[in-house]
Amino acid sequence: MTIRFTEDHEWISVDGDVATVGITTFAQGQLGDVVFVEVPEAGRALTKGKDAAVVESVKAASEVFAPVDGTVVEGNQAVVDEPALVNSDPQGAGWFFKMTLANPAQLDGLMDQAAYDAFVEGQH
Amino acid sequence: MRYLPLTEADRREMLAAIGAPSVDALFGDVPAAANLNQPIAGLAPHQGELQVERALSRLAARNVPAGSCPSFLGAGAYRHHVPASVDQLLTRGEFLTSYTPYQPEVTQGTLQYLFEFQTQVALITGMDVANASMYDGATACAEAVLMANRVTRRNRAVLSGGLHPHYRDVTATTTGVLGVDLVTLPADPKGIEDLAAAIDDKTSCVVVQNPTLFGHVADLTPLAEACHAKGALLVVVVTEVVSLGLMPSPGSMGADIVVAEGQSIGNGLNFGGPYLGLFATRDKFVRQMPGRLCGETVDADGKRGFVLTLSTREQHIRREKATSNICTNSGLCALAFTMHLSMLGELGFTGLARLNHAKAAQLADKLAAAGVTVLNQGFFNEFTVQVTGDAAALVDRLAAEPLLAGVPVSRLHPGQADLADLLLAAVTETTTEDDMDALVQALGGKQ
Amino acid sequence: MNTQGRKTTPDVESAAATDVGTYTGNRALVHEEPLIFELDNPGVTGVDLEAAPAVASRLGGLKAREGIGLPGLSEPTVVRHYTRLSQKNFGIDSTMYPLGSCTMKHNPRLNEKLARLPGFGDIHPMQPQSTVQGALELIDQLAHWLKTLTGMPAVAMSPAAGAHGELCGLMAIRAALRARGETSRTRVLVPESAHGTNPATAAFCGFTVDAIPAEANGRVSVEAVKAKLGPDVACIMLTNPNTCGLFEPQVKEIADAVHAAGGYFYCDGANYNAIVGRVRPADLGVDAMHINLHKTFSTPHGGGGPGSGPVVLSDALAPYAPLPYVVHGADGFRLVEHEGEVEQGAQPFGRLKAFHGQMGMFVRALAYIMSHGADGLRQASSDAVLNANYVKARLQDLMSVPFDGYCMHEALFDDRFLKDTGITTLDFAKAMIDEGFHPMTMYFPLVVHGAFLIEPTETESKATLDQFIGAMRHLAGKAKAGDAAHFLAAPRYTPRRRLDETAAARKPVLRWTPPAA
């Protein structure tokens, strides 16, 4: 299982043919208490860097972008029903959607854990 | 200058603390060519309160207040009696001089009345939820069309020929720049148009006014069903909100969005503004709503309190992706509305509506008895009268008496010869029987 | 990723109970006031109506409505209810309210008195024009002041608020571009520091928004603008003085560059109050600018409105001003309401509002303008700028300043001085409430981290400013000394402590509902 990160603070964890996508621990901390989440429906085609989901706190709103091209397999109804999961377990139960990969080579352009940690450090 | 507390000594001391040689130095970033070194020429200098009051009172005296003579003006603005306590309370400085409640701990007063206001609007419209107000009924109407487009992901709105032309024009101006396709039905003075026939699979909403501009009232249930059958929303516009005390609520007839002009309750005529846009909808559409919303929560001690909420829809967070660019609302007009409606209560509001309707019926009967044609079968407190000759000329002539006979349809639908002899006449609780007789005499000649 | 999120739940542990407890829950002057629905006494009303004439209903077969659910309250109950609610609010009448960008200045009561004269308050918008000549002349007089003060040739009076004025300005620009046949100009340049209404309005008007980054000194540079200009640019929306409280020194060069590229200059006039009588926007190359009468010209904010946002227009945009408008003819003033009535050359882009504009606000604004006069308006701007610089000068050693030098009418600080204290801008604001002040604008502009935007306005005396400065220095000292608990538990003395905004947003309760039976 590989995990990769984008500069927009999404994570993507690949397990076989299917990848899981969410926002990072750092990102949820920047947003504050998440109060609303909108996830894509199964079957929707996603394009790398384009809108895939929405996450809102009380004072901030952000799009969640697709880290790579692919098709949605499942949106996480649990975070829609309980947005607090994005704060309490952002890189676990707080995932946003699962997707298939149209072009797995796109993963090579994303950051690994060490590179992302350094990237976040540089944001301060 | 009475509004400015600083003395010359204060200013010198403050400049010294700043370390600036002069106030002019503080404006050092202003390009030299644009930096004025003295008051702008051709404008009067400051004046005392007495002088200002004298000058503006002189202008006021050159107008004929609607309350100073028999008046039958309506068409989107109505003269009702507002209890004295409403205006007295409105001018309390803590209401009048407060800002948008961004710091909820020190604005619970504003927030609680907004919560109460939202509830009252939801109740009278028969809807689930209402926002904290828009600029006026016409801008709320335009916003309703845009919201219906977002909800349905469609781009074609059908506007009834009974819709106030100013509402139609504001909607056309606002939605036109976004390429919205508007299907506008012709003026409908007889209340016979077939709106359902105009709905197709691309229609996002039908906008219908009830009572219409011409005063006709309708059961909108069949129209709502026709909309929903095609996946379109029904937007109901109410320009005389007192009608909601007697007529079935738009919500009970199947409306998806209700917009209204709330001026009638709590607010004076004010020559057209500031007024109060009401905006209500179903729970499921709340995230597509424009405007501020107040919600209930608890504080750190667990006590009930109120905050602005769901703000991520709004411009200060969503910026170019906001549901609307609206920021300022009609807060003080909403306060006047909610205070007046609290004063009326269930008995007063329904009683006021019945009184308005009964008086209008009385006038209609008097006109009919005098041989004057009233086009309406049904109406609330306003109807269309057919006069002999040009209605606008007649109204102008009667204004000299003074008698404000109503709004000639040609002022709203200009250039249509078939409408030139039509007059909109409104009656409220402020209309006396003497007023009615004066109008009957002016229009019909016999009493 | 938007990084302006912040804590929106109260810190319950630090919220030490302050109540010793009373039977009623009231605390002397501060009452626990129920909702009007909870005060319901069915059968009671606060309004006595005359008996309705006995006539047959003419409701066209509709069934009369019953059971709306409104509560029954007597007049004294209503008066007490709203009086108690009012006591839970800060207003500019009660305390210094230095809300940056919002301009909380004194609201003279003469304005209120005059707006209520029957000759202004009780005239119908559709009265024959012969019966409202004084009202039309008042609009014309206010228009004359606004045009002369700004140096602009025309003004559209109907917009209902600042954002509505922005819409008016952008629609005029769109109409002018269409008249030139340049429909491909679809991009609007908006600095990152702009009010949210600017990008929202541009999008609401069908344009795409292109952000211009702010320079390190808080200004917009002509180079940054030039880098974004092109044949598809419709206009720039520039706030001046800007949202950092700074005058844009290159504003004229920016205007010239935008004009040379075929675009227009929309100026967000939210901060016009800093320069009235000292700078005429026309001299800066402005094509359109809204004027918030509720900021610059003292009409009351009323808990969020109503506003009024007349838009001054250059010669290039004047022909496209919306309907209706007032003209001066041979036999008095005339209201032009329809396209068929317009004079030669005018091509109004449409209509923005049901009627003619916010007349009630026009009366108030004109009363204020006449009270101040040309000399007083200039003095008010000067004092507003002096007051802000005084606050900045007296606080900049303890608090952190993102941009050096003189400011205009508002002093901007950031949260660097709170680094490692565990205290945020929000916590600091809540402690200011306990000191009896309404907090400044916080977390805006977005280009500064944890912004404190302080706008004292010309209304404040030196004594009030000194007390405010003393309180701010006291709090900054406490913060630096590590007394985080003082801030985290604030406010303590308000009718409500910190409110749980997270809960409000996660499970919205937007209206009262009757308790389940």
**Chain C CA closest to residue B284:** C508
**What CA–CA distance (Å, rounded) separates C372 from C149?**
13
Q: Do the strands A70-75 and A97-101 form a parallel or antiparallel pair, or are they unpaired?
A: antiparallel
**Under 8 Å between Cβ of C134 and C119:** yes
Report the amino acid identity of residue A107: L
**Under 8 Å between Cβ of A14 and A80:** no
Give the nearest partner residue to C506 out of A27, A30, A83, using CB atoms. Answer: A83
**What CA–CA distance (Å, rounded) separates C90 from C104?**
11
* N-terminal to C-terminal alpha carbon distance within chain B: 59
**Cβ-Cβ contacts under 8 Å for C136 (sequence gap 6 or more):** C129, C326, C332, C333, C334, C335
A85, B128, B310, B118: which is closest to C508 by C-alpha?
A: B310
Contact yes or no for C501 and A62 at CB 8 A:
no
Which chain A residues touch B if contact means CB-CB below 8 Å?
36, 56-61
**Under 8 Å between Cβ of C156 and C313:** yes
Contact yes or no for A58 and C1 at CB 8 A:
no
Q: With contacts defined as CB-CB under 8 Å, which chain C residues touch A61?
A: 2
Contact yes or no for A59 and B318 at CB 8 A:
no
Write b or e for each residue in B227-241: b if 16 or more Cβ atoms lie within 10 A of its Cβ, otherwise e.
beeeebbbbbbbbbb
Strand partners of residue C268: C239
Give yes or no for B318 touching A (CB within 8 A): yes
Q: Averaged over C493-509, what is the pLDDT? A: 96
Condensed to tens digits (0 to 9), the pLDDT of residues C175-185 reads 999 999 999 99
Q: What are phi and psi for residue B117, nearest 5 degrees? A: -60, -50
ipTM of the predicted structure?
Answer: 0.97
**What CA–CA distance (Å, rounded) separates B125 from B139?**
18
Contact yes or no for A36 and C506 at CB 8 A:
yes
Four-point Cα dihedral B284, B289, B293, B295, nearest 10: 10
Condensed to tens digits (0 to 9), the pLDDT of residues A48-96 reads 999 999 999 988 888 999 999 999 999 999 999 999 999 999 999 999 9
Condensed to tens digits (0 to 9), the pLDDT of residues B41-80 reads 999 999 999 999 999 999 999 999 999 999 999 999 999 9
**Chain A CA closest to residue B318:** A61
Retrieve residue C380's tokens: 């008010």
Contact yes or no for B79 and C510 at CB 8 A:
no
Four-point Cα dihedral B397, B403, B407, B409, nearest 10: -40
**Chain C CA closest to residue B45:** C373
> CA quadruple C138, C144, C149, C155: dihedral positive or negative?
positive
Retrieve residue C237's tokens: 């929306």
Q: Could you tell me what percent of chain B has a pLDDT over 70?
A: 99
pLDDT of A38 over the 70 cut: yes
Q: Averaged over B352-378, what is the pLDDT? A: 97
Contact yes or no for B60 and C117 at CB 8 A:
yes
**What CA–CA distance (Å, rounded) separates B339 from B265?**
9
Mean pLDDT, all residues of chain B: 96
pLDDT of residue A60: 86
Q: Write out the E strands in B83-131.
A: 129-130
**Cβ-Cβ contacts under 8 Å for C467 (sequence gap 6 or more):** none
pLDDT of residue B446: 46
C364, C307, C411: which is closest to C106 by C-alpha?
A: C364
Q: With contacts defined as CB-CB under 8 Å, which chain A residues touch B287?
A: 36
- Please count the residue pairs, one from chain B and one from chain C, whose beta carbons lie less than 8 angstroms apart: 735
Retrieve residue B94's tokens: 């803590």
| Nearest-neighbour CA in chain C from B200: distance (Å) | 25
Report the amino acid identity of residue B27: F
| Nearest-neighbour CA in chain C from A82: distance (Å) | 8
* N-terminal to C-terminal alpha carbon distance within chain C: 46
**Under 8 Å between Cβ of A38 and A79:** no
pLDDT of residue A93: 96
pLDDT of residue B447: 40
Q: Please report the residues numbered 35 through 94 in chain A whose beta carbons come closer than 8 angstroms to any beta carbon of chain C.
A: 35-36, 56-62, 83-84
Q: Is A37 left (phi over 0), alpha (psi -120 to 50) or beta?
A: beta
Q: With contacts defined as CB-CB under 8 Å, which chain C residues touch A32?
A: 5-8
Give yes or no for B91 touching A (CB within 8 A): no
Report the amino acid identity of residue A90: P
Contact yes or no for C3 and A57 at CB 8 A:
no
Q: Could you tell me what percent of chain C has a pLDDT over 70?
A: 97
Contact yes or no for B318 and A60 at CB 8 A:
no
Contact yes or no for A36 and B311 at CB 8 A:
no
Give yes or no for B316 touching A (CB within 8 A): no
Condensed to tens digits (0 to 9), the pLDDT of residues C194-243 reads 999 999 999 999 999 999 998 999 999 999 999 999 999 999 999 999 99
Range with lowest mean pLDDT among B158-167, B288-297, C20-29: C20-29
| Nearest-neighbour CA in chain B from A36: distance (Å) | 9
**What CA–CA distance (Å, rounded) separates B258 from A124?**
48
- Give the helix ranges, DSSP H, for C151-280: 162-179, 197-204, 222-228, 251-260
pLDDT of C7 over the 80 cut: no
Q: How far from chain centre, in Å, is Cα B199?
A: 28
**What CA–CA distance (Å, rounded) separates A111 from C192?**
28
| Residue B16, H or E segment | helix B8-18
| Nearest-neighbour CA in chain A from C128: distance (Å) | 49
pLDDT top residue among C473 and C515: C473
Q: What are phi and psi for residue C497, nearest 5 degrees? A: -80, -170
- Residue B391, classed as helix, strand or coil, is helix
Q: Do the strands A70-75 and A10-15 form a parallel or antiparallel pair, or are they unpaired?
A: unpaired
CA atoms within 13 A on the CB side of B206: 32
**Under 8 Å between Cβ of B14 and C462:** yes
> CA quadruple B400, B404, B408, B412: dihedral positive or negative?
positive
Strand partners of residue B130: B280
**What CA–CA distance (Å, rounded) separates C350 from C338?**
9
**What CA–CA distance (Å, rounded) separates C444 from C450?**
8
pTM: 0.96
Retrieve residue C323's tokens: 């309907």
Condensed to tens digits (0 to 9), the pLDDT of residues C237-263 reads 999 999 999 999 999 999 999 999 999
B380, C5, B369, C227: which is closest to A28 by C-alpha?
A: C5
**Under 8 Å between Cβ of C320 and C174:** no
- CA dist list (Å): A41 to A75, B73, C38: 6, 53, 43
DSSP C271: G
Give yes or no for A111 touching C (CB within 8 A): no
Q: pLDDT band at B307, cuts 50/70/90?
A: very high
- CA dist list (Å): C97 to A93, B294, C427, C433: 44, 22, 17, 10
Give the nearest partner residue to A60 out of C5, C504, C506, using CB atoms. Answer: C5
**What CA–CA distance (Å, rounded) separates B427 from C22?**
51
pLDDT of residue B445: 61
Contact yes or no for A59 and C4 at CB 8 A:
yes
Q: Please report the residues numbered 274 through 303 in chain B whose beta carbons come closer than 8 angstroms to any beta carbon of chain A.
A: 287
Contact yes or no for C1 and A35 at CB 8 A:
no
Contact yes or no for C64 and B46 at CB 8 A:
no
DSSP B404: B
Condensed to tens digits (0 to 9), the pLDDT of residues C367-400 reads 999 999 999 999 999 999 999 999 999 999 999 9
| Nearest-neighbour CA in chain A from C9: distance (Å) | 8
Return the percent helix, strand and coil in chain B, to nearest 5: 45, 15, 40
Contact yes or no for C8 and A9 at CB 8 A:
no
Q: With contacts defined as CB-CB under 8 Å, which chain A residues touch C5?
A: 30-32, 57-60
Q: Averaged over C20-24, what is the pLDDT? A: 85
pLDDT of C517 over the 70 cut: no
Chains in contact with B, where contact means 3 or more Cβ–Cβ distances below 8 Å, are A, C
pLDDT of C467 over the 70 cut: yes
**What CA–CA distance (Å, rounded) separates B285 from B129?**
9
**Chain B CA closest to residue C445:** B316
**Helices vs strands, H then E, count in chain A:** 4, 9
| Residue A23, H or E segment | strand A18-23
Contact yes or no for A36 and B317 at CB 8 A:
no
3-state per-residue secondary structure call for B209-260: ECCCCCCCCCCCHHHHHHHHHCCCEEEEEECCHHHHHCCCCCHHHCCCEEEE
Q: pLDDT band at C12, cuts 50/70/90?
A: low
Give yes or no for B311 touching A (CB within 8 A): yes
Identify from A36, A37, A58 which residue to disrupt to test chain B contact, counting B C-beta atoms within 10 A and taking the largest count: A58
DSSP B30: S
**Chain A CA closest to residue B307:** A58
Give yes or no for B312 touching A (CB within 8 A): yes
| Residue C190, H or E segment | strand C187-191
Contact yes or no for C8 and A57 at CB 8 A:
yes
Mean pLDDT, all residues of chain C: 95
pLDDT of B149 over the 70 cut: yes
Condensed to tens digits (0 to 9), the pLDDT of residues C290-304 reads 999 999 999 999 999
